[in-house]
Amino acid sequence: MSKQALKSKPKSPFYLDSLAWGYYKLKQYKKAYKTMEQVVLTTGLDNIEIKRHWDIIKKSVKKKKTKKKKKKKK
């Protein structure tokens, strides 16, 4: 639904936030991060929901990177 909404307003930070959150729920953390990064760069972190999503998505990307590094060391 977010992708459909973005067709009418491709730069809407709220639609992009929804899309990023959808990617996060699907465990597509890199896509979520890249999409959310666009939102943060254009709108900042004044909106509580955007800040919350950004913080959660950043943590998930960091966790995934840490897990990959641990697997490589074994």
Q: Which domain holds residue 28?
A: 2-73
pLDDT, tens digit (0-9, with 9 covering 90-100), for 17-63: 999 999 999 999 999 999 999 999 999 999 999 999 999 999 998 87
Structure pTM?
0.79
Place of tokens 């899309």: 19
Query: Highest-confidence range of 4-8, 51-55, 63-67, by mean pLDDT?
Result: 51-55
State the Cα–Cα distance between residues 14 and 8, nearest whole angstrom.
13
Give the CATH number of the domain where residue 39 resides. Answer: 1.25.40
| Cβ neighbourhood burial of 19 (10 Å; 0-12, 13-18, 19+) | buried
What is the distance between the terminal CA atoms of the chain, rounded to a whole angstrom? 41
More reliable by pLDDT, 51 or 5: 51
d(CA 7, CA 56): 26
Q: What's the total number of domains in the chain? A: 1
